[in-house]
Structure 1
Amino acid sequence: MTSIPQASVDQLPADAAILDVREDDEWQAGHIDGAVHIPLTDVPQRLSELPEGDPIYVVCRSGGRSARATEFLNSSGIEAVNVDGGMRAWEASGKPMTSGSGAKPTVI
């Protein structure tokens, strides 16, 4: 297995292109403002919807699903980096989030 590029939440550039591969309920509960949401199982069919970026930073709840998406994207010739620790690390670091429900954003 090839090594998957990783970055911590503190290493993301301010203008990072972020792809969130969590499920709809997770996205609604809390996500990074400006991220593009495509659930992991939909990524292969929705490549045309990926955010513009080189690389694309991929996030999920803790890093497992985003690692799979990162591996797939890189094998497809799209430069991608897994966000180590995912949204749990993002929330723990106090970085801003937004929710789709109007409620206080949280990571589920």
Structure 2
Amino acid sequence: MSELPTRDVDGVPTISVTDLPADLALVDVREDEEWRAGHAEGALHVPMGQVPQRLGELPEGPFAVVCRSGGRSQRTAQWLQHNGYDVVNVDGGMGAWADAGKPMVSESGQEPFVR
């Protein structure tokens, strides 16, 4: 992903939400209740614990991984990178996403929020 503005944190390429290209696929690894409360529109939901079983659903080419604050997504991105995927971690996760005013949707019918 050399074309993306990244910085290296513990060997995992990381990108801020403000530098995240709009056309980059996004995989949200939070749990179901977190996803239902609020997520980025168009993101793919694959909870962290299900990633190894659902590799066939992941986007082809480069993609970003996000969680609530960046810890789970960093571990997931590290694992994916080790297994040959072209992936970056979203620094600060969905908390940073919401703080930046990026659009969100919910599955609950209520105003989206980061849980």
1:64-90 deviations in whole A, cap 9, x for unaligned? Answer: 000011001101101110000000000
1:1-108 aligned at under 5 Å gives the runs 3-52=11-60, 54-108=61-115
Unpaired segments ≥5 residues, structure 2: 1-9
Residue type of the partner of 1:56?
Answer: F
Q: Distance in 2 between matches of 1:14 and 1:21?
A: 19
Residue identity opposite 1:73 in structure 2 = L
TM-score by length of structure 1 reads 0.95
Structure 2: which amino acid aligns with 1:25?
E
For the residues of structure 2 that align with 1:42 and 1:22, how far apart are their CA atoms? 10
Figure out how many residues of one structure are paired with residues of the other and give that number.
106
What is the distance in 2 between the residues matched to 1:67 and 1:13?
A: 18
Paired AA for residue 13 in structure 1:
P
C-alpha distance in 2 between matches for 1:25 and 1:42: 15
**Contiguous gaps of at least 5 residues in structure 1:** none
> 1:51 Cα shift?
2.4
Q: CA deviation at 1:14?
A: 1.1
TM (norm. structure 2) is: 0.90
- Deviation >4 Å, runs of 4+: none
How many angstroms apart in 2 are the aligned matches of 1:14 and 1:84?
16
